[in-house]
Structure 1
Amino acid sequence: MVLRSPGPDIQAALDERSGEIFRRIVETYLENGEPLGSRNLSRILPMSLSPASVRNVMSDLEELGLIYSPHVSAGRLPTQLGLRFFVDAFMQVGNISAEDRASIERHVRPHGQKHTAVETMMNEASQALSGMSRGAGLVITTKNDAVLKHVEFIRLEPTKALVVLVGDHDQVENRIIELPAGVTGSQLTEAANFLNAHLSGNTLLEARSQLERLRGEISSELDKLSQDLVERGLAVWSGGFEEAKPTRLIVRGRANLLEGLAGADDIDRLRMLFDDLERKDSLIELLNLAETGPGVRIFIGSENKLFSLSGSSLIVAPYRDGDDKIVGAVGVIGPTRLNYSRIVPMVDYTAQLMSRLSR
C-alpha cells in the first residue's frame, strides 16, 4: 500500500498541540461533515487550552493552508491541502477487517467459464465497493477476453478481401486484408469454415494455443494458400479486438454521490464527472494513475483534473493478470469526506482478490 509522503515544511511547522487540534478538526469533518469551533475543541482536547488559545492555533493552521472557515463565526474545516496532509501524515491504515474481507469475498468470486466470468466479477466487485464505502465503486479493465463467434472472408477485389469477425458480445470487427496470389473463392470459404469449426468459442489466447495443437491437422486438411488465410484471419483478430483494447468501465452506486449535494450546480458538476468517466481517454488516464504506484493511490479533489470540478476523491489500486501485467483497476469515487482509513484497505484487498481471480 503506497501513500505519498507529507510535505516536510508543513510537518515541521506543527508541534504536538497544533497537530492535535488539526487532527480533531479533520476527524470531525470526516465523521459528520461539520466545522469544529474553538469552544468545542477546547473541551475535547487531551491538553488544557482555552478557546482563545485554540483560536490562535487555528489561525496558524489557516496560514499554513490546512484549514479554513466556511463563513464568519463558523468553526473550521480542512482544505484540500489539509486533507492530503492528514492522509499522508496522520491517517493510520491498518489491515482490512474480517467483516469487510468476508463481504468482499462473498461478492468477488469465480463464476462459470473464464471468458464469461470477467464481466460478472467486475460488476460484483464494483457493487461490493459501492455498498461498503457509500461512494461509487468502479472497476476498469483494458484486458479484452473477446470470444470469437464467427469469421467470414468476403472477396472485394482479386487481391483484397474483407474479414468480418463477430465476438461474443456482438462486437463486430471488419478489416481489409491482402490476399495471397491465386486464392480462389472456395479457399476463402474453406479457411473460414476451418476457423469457425476449430476456433469459435475461444478467446484469442485460447485460439492461438488451439492452433498450435492443430498444426498437423491444418497441414493435412488445408492446402498452403488456405493455411495462409487461416493465419491472416487470426492476425486480423489479434489486430482488431485485442489491439483496440476497448477499455471497459463499470460504476455502481452513483446515487450515493448525490446524497448531501447542495443544489443544481453540484448535480451538474457530478453529471460532468460521469460524462468524463465515460470517455475512453479518461479511463486510460485513470488506469495510468493506478499504474504509477505498486499499491493504493489516493487523489483528492483537483489533484486530478477529472475530479477538480466535482470536488471528488478517488481511491484506486491496479490489479494484474497471470503474467503480472496490470490489466485494470478497482476503486472508489466519493466526496472528499470519505472514511479513507477503512476504504484504502478495502480497495487494496479487492485489487488483490481480482488479481488472483484473473490469473
Structure 2
Amino acid sequence: MTRTGAVASAAALTFALAACSPSNEQPTESAESTSTATAGTEETSTVTIAGNLQGAGASSQESAMDAWRAEFQNANAEVTVGYDPVGSGGGIEQFLSGAVPFAGSDGLLDASEYEQAVQQCDGDGGAYHLPMYISPVAVIFNIDGVDSLNLDAATIAGIFDGTVTTWDDEAIASQNEGVELPSSTITVVHRSDSSGTSENFTDYLEQASDGAWPYEASKEFPETSAQRVGADGTSAVVDNVTTTANSIGYADASRAGSLGTVAIKVGDEYVPFSPEAAANIVSASPLSAEANGENDLAYEIDRTTTDSSAYPLTLVSYHIVCSQYDDETERTLVTEFEKFVASEAGQQASATAAGSAPLTAELSAQITAILDGIAANA
C-alpha cells in the first residue's frame, strides 16, 4: 500500500502538532470541511480539508489519541482519523513501508531506519520526530495493602533482571521502613512486543542503575532471569499486573489506575511521577546528536539527573512524519492534524484524558513552523 493509499483509506491514526498556517489557507481539490488550530493562544489560520487519515504506533498515546481524534473530527466533519496502537516498533515498520503517513513512537529511529525513511519519504529530507506527548512511565505493582514504594534505579534493575526475587529482600526493605512486605516471589510483567516504552524504561535502567542493568536500551525487553510474563501492549501489561498478585511492571503513567506505584530515587530524594516532573526532565535534556537536522526534534533524555524536581523515567512520544509528501491532499491532512495536536487546545485535551505534560508554547510554535515547511510534490 502506498502512503497516499493509506491516507485515502479509513483506519487508524496517530500523532499531532501545533497550529494552522497561512500557507495552507487554499483548499485542496477534495476540500469540504474547515479546520482551525491554535499555537499557544493565537489562532493562526483556517484551512478546508476532507479525507481519511491513518496512523499506527505507540500504545502509550492511545488515551491521548482518542481525545485528539474526537476533537479534531468534531471540528472537521469530513475528516476521519484512525489510530492502531500496535506499539512503537509496529508503527515505525508501517511508516517505513508506506502503509501509514505518520507513526507514533516512544523511541527514536535508528541509523538504518533513518536511511529507510529517506527512501520512503519523497525528496531527500527523510523523516522528522515531532514530540507530541510527554508522560512519565510508572513502575506499577500489585501487593495487597501497599499503595506506594520507594526504590532506587539499581534495585528496580535487580528486580527486572532477576537478582532481586522476593518482595522482602533487604534491597527493597531498607528503602521502605515500616512497610509490611510479603516474602512472595516477584513476578515481572514486561512488554513482549517491540515497544518504545520498553526502550525508555531500559534506557533509564542502563543510565541510572550504576551498572546493575547489564543490557543496552532496546525496544525489545531482554531475556532476563526474573520470573516474568510478557504482554503485548500497554493495556495487556496493566491487566496482567492487576490480575497477578505480587507482580511488578511498567506502563505509561496515565494507565496506572489504582495499582501501586514506585517513587524513584533522584539525588537524595524519592520522586513520585507527575506531569510537572516529566516536563522538567525534558526541558533539561539536549537534542540527540543523531538527529536529522534542526527540524528533527529527537531528544536525548538525561536519566542521571540529581534534580529532585525532575522525574527521569519519562518518555517523549513522537509523531514521526515525512519532510515531504507526494501530494497536497496528503500533506494537508497530516500537517493540519499534527498542528492541532501540538496546539494549546490539543495539548490540554491530552492532559485531561491522559495526564500528560503539555508542550511549552515555544515548543508548540517550533513544531508548527516545521510543519509549515513540509512540502508536497504535486
Q: TM-score, normalised by structure 1?
A: 0.25
Larger Rg: 1
Which of the two has greater strand per residue?
2
**Looking at both structures, which has the greater relative contact order when contacts are Cα pairs under 8 Å and sequence separation is at least 6?**
2
Q: TM-score, normalised by structure 2?
A: 0.24
